Chain A
Amino acid sequence: DAKTTQPTSMDCAEGRAANLPCNHSTISGNEYVYWYRQIHSQGPQYIIHGLKNNETNEMASLIITEDRKSSTLILPHATLRDTAVYYCIVMYSGGSNYKLTFGKGTLLTVNP
């Protein structure tokens, strides 16, 4: 599976949009981009995933560049409860092989 690179930490003001970048320059054509987050002392939580089109759900938006070498997770109106470690994962999802592995992620701190 392709490797990802994320900033170690980011800050965001409450109520503003949080834009979390992820580089995945070695992504292959059949690999998806997944985002999870982990709030302190809890298990990770799925946020969103996509292949090449931009995606939006009730939690966030995912913007994938046309060459698919990078993506951005957008939390449109960050709240204090969005403070968490955000993980970008690139993975092929098919057959029975589904090795969901986590890197170090980005610690997002939302400030009042």
Chain B
Amino acid sequence: DAGVIQSPRHEVTEMGQEVTLRCKPISGHDYLFWYRQTMMRGLELLIYFNNNVPIDDSGMPEDRFSAKMPNASFSTLKIQPSEPRDSAVYFCASSGQGAVKAFFGQGTRLTVV
């Protein structure tokens, strides 16, 4: 099992550009989570899905952020337009039924200049 796979691992972009982060959850898992981590705010839950349906997106900071899960094996987090304050490490995690144990990817380090 390759675990949760995120891409890219690092992304540097200019302010105003669109950024798309990608996540492939562990096969068979039906929960998927997106987190953002900064020194100032710690690890924040942005949104999570159950069976490809968004359950809670109250952590999404602004309308510039959107997340989709078109199928059980793929999810995206998009920022449009990006701003320097979006610079952070973004983690994706997945979990099986009952969501007892979540497995995290290695994260995408986003830098917006």
Q: What is A's interface to B at a CB cutoff of 8 Å?
A: 36, 38, 42-46, 49, 87, 93-94, 96-104
Contacts and interface: CB of A to CB of B under 8 A. Distances in A.
Contacts of A43: 4, 91, 93, 104-107
Interface residues of B, number: 25
Given A43-B104, A44-B43, A102-B42, A96 B91 contact: no
Interface of B: 4, 31, 33, 35, 42-43, 45, 48, 50-51, 55-56, 91, 93, 95, 98-107
Q: Counting chain B CB atoms within 10 Å of each CB, which of A46, A49, A93 scores highest?
A: A46
11 contacts: A42-B106, A43-B104, A44-B91, A44-B93, A49-B101, A87-B43, A96-B50, A97-B56, A98-B50, A99-B48, A102-B42
B102 A46 contact: yes
Contact of B55 (A96, A101, A104): A96
Contacts of A36: 102
Contacts, number: 56
A24 B13 CA distance: 41
B15 to A, nearest CB: 25
A46 B42 contact: no
Contacts of B33: 100
Contact of A98 (B4, B91, B95, B104): B95
